[in-house]
A and B are shown apart, each in its own frame.
Chain A
């Protein structure tokens, strides 16, 4: 029998808070992090809303706990800030005190900084300290810089499956634990806003000029966000021997491919349906035991139809309470799966369901609508967290209350 996998530490930074407490405060206050970019050099900065972390990169060095120096991208700094909190929360002062893996996720690595320097980098006439950033474009850069500062020297990896990247990082880490390869793995992802990604989604006509409205009839697209989140996963035996404080159990997960279209989900939500169904089956929980679903809910036309149909197919007329928290954080791409996994834990810990902001009108294709006001004093035992990405990559996690 494979070991159960527990979550014993969490850390995050998003547009609604520099740490978990800050995020919880704004979730409870129903305060969105959406606004207009201060730091991305783009013609869209006053047109397309984004959920930006409210610090220039220079002041992120303090949150990351390192002196200011060249070569550290915003992606790395956001990641380090979240990593510091996660380790502290888990009571880890030395990651080498037990074999500890690090599974990171990123969609465009250090593009946030390299896109500003790229034309100098390819110009033989130009030279200077910007050359320190040459190798920061790839996704491994942020992982290794975080690993080297914190001291991870066991297994490291970086996953990139678009918007489901950090959900897959959590899954990979959990599987390594279940296989008995490592007793402890820190998993999550980091994402900084970039002109590259903003223009990418905008060229797909997927970005809303208003604040995004998941599951609303009038929705026209997503808003991008940035942030980072990490979760410390431990095997049951290690957590118990170590006396770790257990926040929740990662009880189920599934990764499946829809094989439908490079960037669009199927209208009936086949991939979302399969991912949720298989993740729930693995968790051993029944449909009735699901208290809440933190949906992918990007507010693109296609995602919300597809995901909504999948919910109706799986749960019939008993769809659990659900909401998208992307109106708070924007779509943070590689970080989204880990950020929302932490929100699932907060829902369990505090017995509350976070609202789906900006919703007014039910979609005509669906019979269901999301939670629109904060629900408190609500017992939350099992949460499904969905992350679906380009390339048909669908990932669902089941996070459960720890009851011994």
Chain B
């Protein structure tokens, strides 16, 4: 797996990485040096989220030790916002004449998938889901279905960017907090709205465990606008007693009650939030899953990211993951140690 995120997750030792925080209510990705992954002439033409998505996908494939990515399935809520915004404006600016097609092509939601396939010469199954907080989740479901049908492995990921303009647009409908906060305190700072984020996260999924495996996905459920009762029942059915919970808690008082439901289902289980690391976005679940898989593999929690958390004293054999996107799309996953 590989993650480009607002934290130094792409290179180096995560356990010693510092906690990056901001008071802008917007956590932007730390972009890596793309040159090892993408040839210079291609790099110049590519917009930001395409570079992030492609680099994360390539690094993930390298990390997996596999020669080819196999089927490529991704999720993105918004695709390349930068290109969409650019093309909308150029249509007006140039009065619909002599337009450069590049932003239009790159704004197409499956352009990252196409690029990965092209660069890897991969002719296998290829699909892109674009459904807010169910984008990555449907990509994951599609991948699991492929593996159950006999595919040995898939490249499965998500990518999202936030632009200044889109940050403003979403601020108009209450997505972000009005007051500026220290992102490090996000999970404890309860008020309407969250803080914005972005990221590109990819996983190689296999049907059988290997020396490269981080974790096993043993439970998975998506719920669309569930009632309190339905959510409660689904959460309880996920696990008897997980060793750790990772939740998408994001300091948004409008939707905190869903996380309270989680607390009530699993009292006393240690719980980590992750949105203070990556911010809130359509495909933040992918980053949360990455974090969960890291913890279960290394059996360590990066102290600087979770200063309030006591060091682990017992093995983490299972992690329950729960996230929702503005109360509409809910996902729960159970990870187990390989």
Interface residues of A (CB under 8 A from B): 42-44, 106-107, 109, 115, 118-119, 121-122, 124, 131, 134-135, 138-140, 143-144, 147-148, 152-162, 168, 172, 175-176, 179, 195-196, 199-200, 202-204, 255-263, 270-271, 274, 389-393
Contact = CB atoms under 8 A, between A and B. Distances in A.
Contacts of A162: 108-110
A134 B173 CA distance: 8
A172 B110 contact: no
B294 interface: no
Contacts of A195: 91, 96
Interface stretch (B121-129, B257-265, B316-324): B121-129
B285 to A, nearest CB: 14
Contacts of A261: 118
Among all A-B residue pairs, the 8 with the closest Cβ atoms = A391-B114, A200-B104, A160-B109, A203-B101, A257-B126, A203-B99, A158-B131, A139-B130
B171 to A, nearest CB: 10
27 contacts: A121-B169, A122-B165, A139-B130, A140-B77, A140-B131, A143-B131, A147-B224, A148-B225, A153-B225, A156-B224, A158-B134, A160-B79, A161-B110, A161-B128, A162-B108, A172-B142, A176-B145, A202-B96, A202-B99, A204-B101, A255-B126, A255-B127, A257-B122, A260-B118, A262-B118, A390-B108, A391-B111
Given A157-B138, A257-B72, A140 B130 contact: yes
A179 B145 contact: yes
Given A139-B109, A161-B110, A162-B110, A199 B131 contact: no
Interface of B: 72, 77-79, 87-88, 91-92, 95-97, 99-101, 104-105, 107-111, 113-115, 117-118, 120-132, 134-135, 138, 142, 145, 148-149, 165, 168-170, 172-173, 222, 224-225, 328
Given A203-B101, A261-B118, 15 more contacts: A107-B108, A118-B88, A131-B172, A139-B131, A159-B129, A161-B128, A162-B110, A179-B148, A195-B91, A196-B88, A256-B125, A257-B125, A258-B123, A262-B105, A391-B108
Contacts of A157: 129, 131, 134, 138
A49 to B, nearest CB: 16
A203 B91 CA distance: 10
Contacts of A148: 225
Contact of B172 (A107, A121, A144, A154): A121
A170 to B, nearest CB: 12
B173 A131 contact: yes
Contact of B78 (A138, A147, A161, A257): A138
